Structure 1
Amino acid sequence: MSDSLNVAITGCGVIGRTHAVAIHEFPEASIVALVDVIPDAAEALADFIEKSGRPRPSVFTSLEDAFAATDIHLVALATPSGLHIRQGLEVLAAGKHVVIEKPLDVDLGRAQEIEAAAAEAARRGVVASVISQHRFDRSSVAVADAVATGRFGRLTSAIASVAWWRGQGYYDSGDWRGTWTMDGGGALMNQGVHTVDLLLWFMGRPVEIHAHTARLAHERIEVEDTAVATVTFENGGLAVLHATTAAYPGLTVRVQLMGSEGSAVVDNDQLQYFHSKDAGGDSADMGLQGGGNQADAELAKYPEEDYEAKDPTVYPAGHIRQYRDIFGAIAEGRQPGVKVSDAVNALATVRAVYVSATLNEAVLFDDVLAGKYNDLEVRTGGTRTESI
């Protein structure tokens, strides 16, 4: 491979633009191709790239045409979720590195197919990663490091909440939005999958999930706008998982992690609270009731953010941090920080929530992962049918 990393972006909508802005932060990478079945979308992104001072990429309507015409090393898939696996397999079969926007796919069985293909490709030095940019947030890294070194003692519980609002116009803006086939789910799958990934990164492997879902504030969609679940983990810890797009006007994403020797709260990507017994300070048998906050001291151990958005409509800081890891993995011949298997576990957890809500009973994570419920047609409970 040459010193320059030639990149193609497939899917030239809003997320495709985010990938383009992020990739342009790295002088070793050049976007040489844009692929979209809607040529106007690709041309619009090509215009945007050209106006930013970069060479104008070639435009194609298929990956096959792009591969035939252009030397491409890495493909970023920013297409609707239901297309990710087919396109990802096509990229890996061509021997190219691939970055897949979240979620990995809408179908767990297909996701496991690309998991196997990515493992095989890794043996040939091919990198496959899935966007999970919040793992690279400064606050998330601080909490994950504390977990890895045992500073919180035994992890006992967690609360993960995504409390957002999406108006009816959001779902009406695309025929694929809010469908099981292409969106794969609602608030949990589309908006909450990043938080599911963080919960698993902190707490470990799930064992059992018991959940309920409902559609309460939207119409003309098949999927849920509200989901709640309890999750039991291998380490014995318990968690509450919550995701909604029916929290007007939109609240924060919050992950609260609690252990026998420390706790942390990450709210909207900021380390709002951190306390570890090993850092010293006050302690009390009856607790500090939120006192003894060591967040500022903990964050001081990690570099400041090094990116400010130049375009107020695009917020690619998290993507930039993850691309730094991905480009490093390619250059160093190692695996990326987020592997396809990580995304499969997050997807299996979301699938377990939908299965549990459909059956109205607890389900085992390993049963879902093993395909026990592959033929089950999941549905949304608590459907609101009256006009809103």
Structure 2
Amino acid sequence: MQKVRIGIIGYGKMGSQHAKAFASGKIPNAVLTAVADIDPVRVGIAKESLDAAVTVFNSATALLASGLCDAIIPTVPHYYHPVLAVQAFEAGLHVLCEKPAGVYVKQAKQMQAAAQKSGKVFGIMLNQRTNPLYIRARQLVQDGTLGRIIHANWIITSWFRAQSYYDSSSWRATWKGEGGGVLLNQNPHNLDLWQWILGMPSRVKATMYYGKHRSIETEDDVFALFEFPDGAIGQYTTTIADSPGTNRLEITGTKGKLVVENDTLTLHVLQEDTDDFNERFKGEIGQPKSEIQHIAVEGVYTSHPGIITNFCNAILKQEPLIAPGEDGLASLAISNAMHLSSWTDESWVDIPCDDEVFCSFLEQKCGGQLPV
């Protein structure tokens, strides 16, 4: 196999975006061979816009059985990401799942089990992992540059969405259609980076507002407090209402503070570890001196094409995945716990939370029965 044959299931916003990446040559080690959608309008758009060599199907079942693909990318409403992935693995295909990994962890675990049983490559579209900014931030945390982490604070309010965005598709921001709001649509990227850089938090307490700023069922304003196993504390704020929004990540440790904002990394380096300073300092008020360093960031943000190319290289050359599919369960576990905290009087909830308890609450939100 010289190039991986890819099938895209779902030809909406993301499906068509990925198709354009193939058409423009951004995925050199793969070729788009098939597309499927159950919406006749979308099928028509696909036939008009795609190269004649791409076969267009009106069902996922037909695409999976066609023999035209080595791997699929499901770009459908969230509940069906695991459903189609399981079907693909059972058909002997590799899967690059769009984010999120699903709506609830219990379902995503079934996808993970099917992947393991199949032995096929399982990736997830966590494209912000290709951003050199966050790659470098992760390195600085993991190599001990910041010392023992004390606090992390992410204000990620640059996800502005107008009402027209939600009105564009009937499934958006509904419990039965999308399964969540800003956490499940936009924030899988940030929640993934949160745990990728800092490690998995152990519990969370979250306050959420549902349909506060837009005429939607799901959350559009979120405030959360995290605890990590080593005692570090994290604060997390997100919304779709702010314009201009903010994207500022601060990570403070005993050796300094890292600020990620406006595509730059600013490091405040302490001359002395605060733990050591605390032990020796005998004055009334004082703190270690610091200096500011602007950290150079090298590399190119390859985004979705970068993840797809890496996924295909994993198939062709056994290249390690940038975003293994199993990692998608981590950010989903965080958002499930955040929702459950909000639904249980903003109590502390362990991460991962109880799957059955979460699903029982979600069923109520969906009118008594989960879509799948």
With the shorter chain as reference, the TM-score category is 0.7 to 0.9
Q: Which runs of structure 2 are paired with 1:211-360 in the superposition (5 Å)?
A: 211-214=206-209, 215-219=211-215, 221-247=216-242, 249-267=243-261, 270-276=263-269, 285-288=287-290, 292-296=292-296, 299=297, 302-304=298-300, 317-333=302-318, 335-360=320-345
2-structure distance, mates of 1:324, 1:94: 22
Unaligned runs of 5+ in 2: 272-276, 278-285, 366-372
1-structure distance, mates of 2:330, 2:19: 27
In the TM superposition, residue 337 of structure 1 has moved relative to its aligned partner by 2.2
Deviation by residue 1:119-140 (Cα, 9 ceiling, x = unmatched): 333xx2x111111111110101
**Aligned match of 1:159 in 150, 153, 163?**
153
Give the counterpart letter for 2:62 in structure 1: D
Determine whether 1:103 maps to 2:100: yes
**Aligned match of 1:137 in 122, 131, 135?**
131
2-structure distance, mates of 1:73, 1:205: 33
The CA RMSD over aligned residues, in Å, is 2.4
Deviation by residue 1:10-37 (Cα, 9 ceiling, x = unmatched): 1111111222233431232110101000
Q: Which runs of structure 2 are paired with 1:3-82 in the superposition (5 Å)?
A: 3-23=2-22, 24-50=25-51, 56-82=53-79
Give the counterpart letter for 1:363 in structure 2: W
Match of 1:174 in 2: 169
1-structure distance, mates of 2:356, 2:289: 44
2-structure distance, mates of 1:41, 1:200: 36
1-structure distance, mates of 2:116, 2:155: 32
- Aligned partners of 1:154 and 1:261 also within 8 Å: yes
- Aligned partners of 2:95 and 2:123 also within 8 Å: yes
Unaligned runs of 5+ in 1: 306-316, 381-388
Alignment CA distance shift 1:369-1:143 (3 Å) = farther
2-structure distance, mates of 1:100, 1:184: 17
- Aligned partners of 1:60 and 1:66 also within 8 Å: yes
- Aligned partners of 2:340 and 2:349 also within 8 Å: no
For these two proteins, the number of residue pairs brought into alignment is: 348
Match of 1:188 in 2: 183
Determine whether 1:91 maps to 2:84: no
Give the counterpart letter for 1:352 in structure 2: A
Alignment CA distance shift 1:34-1:204 (3 Å) = same
2-structure distance, mates of 1:379, 1:157: 35
Give the counterpart letter for 1:259 in structure 2: G
TM-score, normalization by structure 1: 0.83
In the TM superposition, residue 334 of structure 1 has moved relative to its aligned partner by 5.1
Give the counterpart letter for 1:158 in structure 2: A
Corresponding residue SS for 2:326 = helix
Deviation by residue 1:317-362 (Cα, 9 ceiling, x = unmatched): 4112212321221122255221222111111111111111111143
2-structure distance, mates of 1:116, 1:276: 44
Give the counterpart letter for 1:246 in structure 2: A
Match of 2:280 in 1: none
Give the counterpart letter for 2:54 in structure 1: P
- Aligned partners of 1:46 and 1:56 also within 8 Å: no
Give the counterpart letter for 1:32 in structure 2: T
2-structure distance, mates of 1:200, 1:151: 18
- Aligned partners of 2:250 and 2:259 also within 8 Å: yes
Alignment CA distance shift 1:275-1:115 (3 Å) = farther
Alignment CA distance shift 1:46-1:28 (3 Å) = farther
In the TM superposition, residue 236 of structure 1 has moved relative to its aligned partner by 1.5
In the TM superposition, residue 156 of structure 1 has moved relative to its aligned partner by 1.4
- Aligned partners of 2:4 and 2:316 also within 8 Å: no
Alignment CA distance shift 1:30-1:10 (3 Å) = same
1-structure distance, mates of 2:95, 2:344: 36
Alignment CA distance shift 1:239-1:366 (3 Å) = closer
Corresponding residue SS for 2:258 = strand
In the TM superposition, residue 161 of structure 1 has moved relative to its aligned partner by 2.4
Give the counterpart letter for 1:373 in structure 2: F
1-structure distance, mates of 2:20, 2:249: 28
In the TM superposition, residue 379 of structure 1 has moved relative to its aligned partner by 8.3
